[in-house]
Amino acid sequence: MKSNRQRTRLQAEKTETIEDTVLSVVRAGIDVILTDLGFYVAEFSFNKILIDPEFRRLILEEYIDTDVANVLIQAPDLFVMHRKKEPIDGVFFVKCYATPVKTNKRTQFIEINSSARNIYSKFYPCDKIMILVSRRSESSPLLASWLLKTSRFQVDKMKTLRNFIESELHMKPNDELIAKLNTELVKMYEPD
Amino acid sequence: MPETRMQSFLNRMKLTTEFTTILLTFLQQYGFKTCGFGYEQILRGDQPRMRSMRSLLRKLRFKESPTALMVKFSPDIICAYPKLKSSDSLFFLDVKTSITPLFFGEQIKRVRRNARLAQLRREDIGEIEREAWYVYNTFYPSNKTAIVMALPYNPKLVVADWVSNVKCLWCYKKKGRKGPIPWNCRDCPIFNKSGTFGVVQNFLAGGSKTPHTNIHLGRMRTLHMFLSSEFGVDIEEDEYNEILNSVKTWQLSKPPRTVNWTQFNNAITELRATCPWLKHRWPEDTSSTRLDSFAQHPQT
């Protein structure tokens, strides 16, 4: 059984999996969709905010149990700012999750791991972290929600990206761009 | 140094950059590993979107957003001291410099009243950006976020401590009829964990009109004490004194419109009791006779 420490380190160091490829597609896709709506999008993950690979390695090897390390390791994927919207609504983080690809079982819940959960609630503006979850689904392969205080998301109760943007950001997204991203994700989740 | 040279934001920034370089070289020499952080590092690059984001973060209205503040005021540096072999030796570090003490007696009295410290001395009142104080206390582990501050008007010259050990004395809320009004600690967004301080300009401050928080420098440790007690670093006195001597040469800044030369030099006379390296100054016609005479007979 792996300790939290080992899990976090493995998670940060792991070699690229198919889910990582899905995540890259989701990140690139949401970047395009939000940029089209007038947002500026910057990568914000551990590897991006800490420029020095030696220092990242030092953190992962020696300090992984500390709050300081985890504020950095658990950094959301993207930092987003709108040039015109009220800052309170137009600035937020985005964290992307991919449900397992190589399984036929439909995912019911997404669990945010306890280490990430603790860090987000202690140190991040939790209500300003947009969660994006990709899953196997023909009709809605990408779902969205604010992180809020929940650590367990019932996937079916989350909004589609389009609905989320309309209801939470009060903007009308480009349907074509969303369709393109959805098509890409459906393909990635197709059984071999 | 001309009266206004340090008044400009760019020059103050240059002073901080220079001191940061000196400090980091010093720390690295003792085995500390450092890595740049801060919003200019996070949003680095020349791409138009990065430039636009950095520019937006500097706009006043973005102080309404906790998320924007978290990024804008992220500490400058991440530091590790692997020699200690303890997970406690990873920390955030923010480096600050100040060459502007509190000049107005009225404001010193307000700070004393608010902090209930009747004996508080002018040189023990430091000033940092209010939003930075909010961010260190809200979005980063405050017991592992260190402030290092260099100031020629405090006898310690370079103070350092964890944010969680630093005492807030007074925090600008708004302009009142009889002077500035501070935040009541019970309403402070840091303790309430809700919202931000909001967008407000500080009419007391020059330049950027940034609202500030006054902190108790007297209760902060010297950099020497901080490094030796927290990390067991055995510091070479000569090397440390070199840093102190360079801070001693910094001239105090005189805010051009709000403080007149008499107020400026009166403050220097008072500060010289504990900081004898500080020098009186007059605008262009500085003469040694005038300075000597002022030093002996401060004016009112």
Judged by CB atoms closer than 8 Å, whether chains meet at A91 and B67 is answered as yes
Test mutation, B32, B41, B65, B145, chain A, max A CBs within 10 A: B65
Nearest to B136 by CA among B216, B67, B219, B73: B73
Q: Is the pLDDT of residue B13 over 90?
A: no
Answer yes or no: are the C-beta atoms of A30 and A24 closer than 8 Å. Answer: no
Q: What is the pLDDT of residues B139-169, one digit of tens each?
A: 999 999 999 999 999 999 999 999 999 999 9
Q: Give the pLDDT confidence score for residue B4 in this predicted structure.
A: 42
Judged by CB atoms closer than 8 Å, whether chains meet at B64 and A72 is answered as no
| pLDDT-above-90 percentage for chain B | 66
Give me B33's structure tokens. 């590993």
Q: Give the pLDDT confidence score for residue B289 in this predicted structure.
A: 55
Judged by CB atoms closer than 8 Å, whether chains meet at B52 and A40 is answered as yes
Number of separate domains in chain A: 1
Answer yes or no: are the C-beta atoms of A110 and A153 closer than 8 Å. Answer: yes
Q: Which of B56, B63, B138 sits opposite A81 (nearest CB)?
A: B56
**B175 CA to chain A: closest CA distance, Å?**
24
Q: Which of A35, A68, A125 sits opposite B70 (nearest CB)?
A: A125
Q: Give the pLDDT confidence score for residue B268 in this predicted structure.
A: 96
Helix, strand, or coil here: A48?
helix
**pLDDT tens for chain A, residues 1 to 192:** 456 566 566 565 556 788 899 999 999 999 999 999 999 999 999 999 999 999 999 999 999 999 999 999 999 999 999 999 999 999 999 999 998 887 767 777 788 888 898 999 999 998 899 999 999 888 899 999 999 766 777 887 899 999 999 999 999 999 999 999 999 999 998 876
Q: Which of B41, B80, B144 sits opposite A58 (nearest CB)?
A: B80
Please check whether residue A55 touches B, CB under 8 A. Answer: yes
**A82 CA to chain B: closest CA distance, Å?**
9
Judged by CB atoms closer than 8 Å, whether chains meet at B64 and A87 is answered as yes
Q: Is the pLDDT of residue B218 over 80?
A: yes
H-run or E-run covering B216: strand B212-216
Q: What backbone phi and psi angles, to 5 degrees, belong to B201?
A: -105, 150
Please check whether residue A126 touches B, CB under 8 A. Answer: no
Give CA–CA dist B38/A34, Å, rounded. Answer: 24
Q: Give the pLDDT confidence score for residue B202 in this predicted structure.
A: 65
Please check whether residue A109 touches B, CB under 8 A. Answer: no
Judged by CB atoms closer than 8 Å, whether chains meet at A123 and B141 is answered as yes
Q: Which of A42, A67, A125 sits opposite B43 (nearest CB)?
A: A42
Contact list in A for residue B91 (CB cut-off 8 A) is: 68
Q: What is the pLDDT of residues B168-212, one digit of tens each?
A: 998 887 778 777 888 787 777 777 666 777 766 666 665 556 788
Answer yes or no: are the C-beta atoms of B170 and B214 closer than 8 Å. Answer: yes
* Vertex B198: Cα angle to B196 and B200 (nearest 5): 150
Domain enclosing residue A44, as ranges: 4-189
Please, which residues bridge with residue B160 across strands? Answer: B148, B221
Judged by CB atoms closer than 8 Å, whether chains meet at B61 and A125 is answered as no
Q: Which amino acid is at B155?
A: P
List the single range of A101-110, A136-145, B48-57, B223-232 with lowest mean pLDDT: A101-110
Q: Give the pLDDT confidence score for residue B207 in this predicted structure.
A: 55
Summarize the confidence of residues B109-124 as an average pLDDT: 94
Higher pLDDT, B81 or B4: B81
Q: What is this structure's pTM?
A: 0.89
Give CA–CA dist B208/B195, Å, rounded. Answer: 22
Contact list in B for residue A62 (CB cut-off 8 A) is: 80, 82, 87, 90
H-run or E-run covering B151: none
Q: Which of A44, A66, A92 sits opposite B90 (nearest CB)?
A: A66
Q: Which of A59, A62, A67 sits opposite B144 (nearest CB)?
A: A67
SS percent in chain A: helix, strand, coil, step 5: 50, 20, 30
Please check whether residue B295 touches A, CB under 8 A. Answer: no
Average pLDDT, chain B: 88
ipTM above 0.85, yes or no: yes
Q: Give the pLDDT confidence score for residue B180 in this predicted structure.
A: 82
Please, which residues bridge with residue B35 across strands? Answer: B78
**A43 CA to chain B: closest CA distance, Å?**
8
Helix, strand, or coil here: B32?
coil
Summarize the confidence of residues B19-34 as an average pLDDT: 97
